[in-house]
Amino acid sequence: QVAFESHPHLRTSTISSSLSTVPGGKPAYSFHVSADGQMQPVPFPPDALIGSGIPRHARQLHTLTHGEVVCAVTISSSTQHVYTGGKGCVKVWDVGQPGTKTAVAQLDCLVRRGPRRAGTAFTHPPLARLHLAAPALGQTLASLWTGGLDNTVRCWDLREGRQLQQHDFSSQIFSLGYCPTGEWLAVGMESSNVEILHVTKPDKYQLHLHESCVLSLKFASCGKWFVSTGKDNLLNAWRTPYGASIFQSKESSSVLSCDISINDNFIVTGSGDKKATVYEVVY
C-alpha cells in the first residue's frame, strides 16, 4: 500500500532564487502570476487545508489488475463500478465489496470501419490536431476547452464551432481540467507545471510539485480541490485555485489517468504498470 503524505515535504522549484522562498524560509511551490507576467509566492490563507469539503488524506482501497497500460479510468455515478481503458478494451470492475478484484465485464473496442457519424469539426493548427489533451466542457455545456502540442489552450463555442479564447504557453499541453464552479481551468504541462487560469479574468497561478509532465487532471465536484497525475509517478491533490498541497502519493509507475467520484469520496488512477488503484478520500 502506498502511503499518503497529508502535507508533503515541499520541493524547490526551478523558479529563480529570489522567488523560491516564502516567509518562514520554506521552499515555495505555488505562485501567483499577474497580468504582466510577474510571479510572486502565494501566501496561503489559514483555512487552506481545513474546512468543509477539504480532504485530510486518502487511503488505498483496491488494486485493479487490468493487464495493459491503463490509459483511461472513470467511476460510475453510483461509485459501484470502475471502468479501466487499455489496449483494445474497457474492463468493468465491481468495487462495492472488499476483497480481491476481477473484472466483471470486458468491452472490446478496437477501431473497426463503420458508418460515419455527424459532428462538429474545429479547425486547429496542424500540431494542435496531434494532441487534444483531455478536452474539458465548460459549465454551460456550450463551450469546449482544448489543449495541444502547439502550446495553446483554446475555448470553442460548441453551437457555432468558432474559437472564443486562446492562451499561449511555452510548453506543450498534456491535460486539462475544468472546475465545476465555472471560474477556473487547470492546465497540465509537458514542462511539469500545473497552471490555473481564471476563465474570464487575467488571473493565473503556477504550481510546481510535479517533477515531469502532467498527464491528467480532475476537479472534485465541489470545486474546492483537484488532483493531478504525472510521469513522475505522483498523484497530487491541490486546493482550488491557489494550489496549497493537500496530500501526495508516489505510485510505482507513471500515472496516466485519474477520476474523482461524483460524491468526491473516491479517486481512481490508471498507471503504466498495467493496473488501476482506487483510493478512499478521508475528510
Q: What is the pLDDT of residues 70-127, one digit of tens each?
A: 999 999 999 999 999 999 999 999 998 888 889 999 999 865 544 444 445 545 444 4
Could you tell me the fold of the domain covering 29-34+61-109+124-273? Methylamine Dehydrogenase; Chain H (2.130.10)
Q: Which three cell numbers stand for residue 96?
A: 462495492
What pTM was computed for the model?
0.84
Q: Which three cell numbers stand for residue 5?
A: 503524505
Q: Where are the domains of the chain?
A: 29-34+61-109+124-273
Q: Cα dihedral sign for 35, 40, 46, 47?
A: positive
Identify the residue whose cell numbers are 473497426.
Answer: 112
> Residue 26 — very low, low, confident or very high, per pLDDT cuts 50/70/90?
low
Q: Which residues contact 224 (CB under 8 A, 6 or more apart)?
A: 53, 54, 239, 240
Amino acid at 50: I
Q: What is the pLDDT of residues 271-282, one digit of tens each?
A: 999 999 999 999
